[in-house]
Structure 1
């Protein structure tokens, strides 16, 4: 990927333009929209693959759409959206010849075969989660929120907010089909939302949404074991503001980890030691808007972008190379902004 363009998701049902393509100034990080399409309802999360871009449709009858990047500044649908047989898909990932979706509403993971031309087949598997948690109104049943391939490519980890768990699905080395999962239970009521791996591949960080904590875990790709080691708060104690963390992001060199907070409307910077075991708080800065649903780091490491859903803007930050602390550099108006990916 060139890194000189970005693809922006937004909620069409809340007034967003849908899928927007923007030029990215390599020096300043400024985004300039050049194309938008509402061909898919609520493309709240995106991922880019070779020659194609994929978007969930976060609706009750969830689906996923593939877009050709033959002209990378003007993505065009490759085919009609494909139903995932799950409700409200919130996240997706390409891995092992499949596109996987996390279906929040139905608490399941769907596996859709990826064809040679970039289009998608119907789900070859829909993996239903089971269980619940103690938080009334949020954990009455499973709510799969994220799907993340491990660095080895042999496992898919599914983070479930409703069951306080992470399920690791082994992926068949020939077919890519997911096998029976290994489930890791986290502390009841934390409501895990997202997961990010350390570049070293042996540590993973699980971010809670219902409690503002980051759980440091040891990951063993040999047997798919995820072992919680420690919890780190992502807001100061006694802050008095209801908060729902959204996204953890780690720098490519593994030196820094950032967390976006909805409620406090902030970005927190942690420094990481070489082991990755001890995130050290460095700073908290304003996110530049309200309700940062997604946080993205540019591949070269010197820029961060916060998609502020409720204020309708995407704020960009330059990152201090010594401390990792972001500094606001500008913003782009984007109603109902939901995510930023690079291509």
Structure 2
């Protein structure tokens, strides 16, 4: 392991790990008591990082995050596993679920050892498709769903109380294509989300410009799908998130570099578009592929990542879901894949896949705007961040 630090610059050798702090902020934010469930001590919280392992990364890593200063430290490999590009952590923080994004895809469940220094494999099942890229559990943590990008299908498994993924799978395959080649040459399932009551499972498909909805019965079985929302041709929807208190959802479109607000009909799961805005500043003509999307817990601010423009788009969200682009903040890296708000929402952390670094930004609670803290850490091919 080698690390070279030039003033305020990290030079990365695959796989090199280090940190650099460029500035020190005054009036550092205090710890929010609502986030103590994931705080290891008075100062540090666990941040798990999913990676691509084609180069120097070996699997899932754990970092310490200081919720007062925003500093990242003490990176360690907690389990070797191939291409864990998307993670989901159980509500009790004791289990970690990951996709293994390969041509013969798999999904894995892990549990912590006694001192939370290593993850042990609980079980693994096939994803029943190619290149799974998203994984999630329902609120009761007894159903697991994953999206397979290349094969355009989704899979649902039942999960036992000890975190084991049960063997009988439910597979749903999407049909169709879109106008943008080669991205939309076929269906491309990219995200799955249970609604709050696990009455429906939503599947976001980038290849066919649709959000599909599957009803779920009391035994956890999926019914036939219907189109919950048809996006504009060539939008390429990628991720979907729910508003914390309203019947609203927000989607980020990879191919059209835009975000969409839609109102949800809770009776049948269908959606109607409320607003659509570009994630890019006016006049930008370069290539871009939007990736991830997150909403503040009060529903006032929406964030989306831009790969190519290499920025986080910051939006204000009104009561009805209408959006206004406030700013595009440089991610201080290249190709921002996923990002995450810290549990106290004082910071936003970005996984920059191509520049092999994770960067940390302060969040202004009044206006939602971001400021680079100077904190960053080097890690090979980070793509998924999870507290």
If the length of structure 1 is used for normalisation, what is the TM-score?
A: 0.95
**Unaligned segments of structure 2, at least 5 residues:** 1-36, 40-44
Q: CA deviation at 1:299?
A: 1.9
In the alignment, which of 353, 362, 377 is matched to residue 318 of structure 1?
362
The structural deviation recorded for 1:202 is 0.8
What is the CA–CA distance in structure 1 between the aligned matches of 2:369 and 2:123, rounded to whole Å? 42
Pair 1:294-2:363 in alignment: no
Could you tell me how far apart the structure 2 residues matched to 1:156 and 1:308 are? 30
Report whether the alignment pairs 1:52 with 2:95. yes
Whole-angstrom distance in 1 between the partners of 2:108 and 2:118 = 11
Q: Show CA shifts across 1:275-295 (max 9, x none).
A: 22x111111110110000111
Equivalent position to 1:283, from 299, 313, 327: 327
2:367 and 2:84 mapped to 1: Cα distance? 34
Query: SS in structure 1 opposite 2:365?
Result: coil
CA–CA distance in structure 2, aligned partners of residues 73 and 32 of structure 1: 16
1:238 aligns with 2:283: yes
Task: Note if contact 1:248-1:257 (Cα within 8 Å) is conserved in structure 2.
Answer: yes
CA-to-aligned-CA distance 1:174-230 (integer Å, 9 cap, x gap): 222222122122111111111111112311111111111111111122211111222
Q: Deviation per CA, 1:52-111, whole angstroms, max 9, x where unpaired?
A: 101100000100111103447324223343211111000001015211000001101111
Residue 372 of structure 2 is aligned to residue 328 of structure 1: yes
Aligned pair count reads 340
Shift in alpha-carbon separation, 1:208–1:123, aligned structure 2, 3 A: farther
Larger radius of gyration: 2
Determine the C-alpha separation between the residues in 1 that align with 2:88 and 2:70.
20
Matches within 5 A, 1:8-19: 8-19=49-60
Name the residue aligned to 2:240.
195
Give the distance between the partners of 1:33 and 1:161, measured in 2 at CA.
Answer: 37
Change (3 A) 1:24 1:152: same
Shift of the alpha carbon at 1:31?
A: 2.0
Tell me which stretches of 4 or more aligned residues in structure 1 moved more than 6 Å. Answer: none
Aligned-partner Cα distance in 1 for 2:115–2:316: 35
Partner of 1:303: 347
Give the conservation status (yes or no) of the 8 Å contact 1:65–1:80.
yes
Name the CA distance, whole Å, in 2 between partners of 1:239 and 1:192. Answer: 21
CA distance in structure 1 between the partners assigned to 2:103 and 2:267 by the alignment: 37
Q: Does residue 1:2 correspond to 2:38, yes or no?
A: yes
Structure 1 unaligned spans of 5+: none
Give 1:273's aligned residue: 318
Cα distance change of structure 1 residues 109 and 33 upon mapping to structure 2, 3 Å threshold: farther
Q: Distance in 2 between matches of 1:162 and 1:56?
A: 20
Q: 5 Å matches for 1:143-182?
A: 143-172=188-217, 174-182=218-226
User: So what's the TM-score if we normalise by structure 2?
Assistant: 0.85
CA contact (8 A) 2:209 2:233 kept: yes
1:119 equivalent to 2:155? Answer no
**Aligned with 2:294 (options 226, 249, 272):** 249
Cα offset, 1:239, TM superposition: 0.4
Q: Quick check: 2:261–2:276 contact (8 Å CA) kept in 1? A: yes
CA, structure 1 residues 339+244, in 2 after alignment: closer, same or farther (shift >3 Å)?
A: same
* 2:71 matched residue in structure 1: 30
Indicate whether 1:89 and 2:89 are aligned: no
The answer to whether the 8 A contact 1:182-1:224 is kept is no
For the Cα contact (< 8 Å) 2:65–2:72, is it kept in 1? yes
- Are 1:132 and 2:177 matched, yes or no? yes
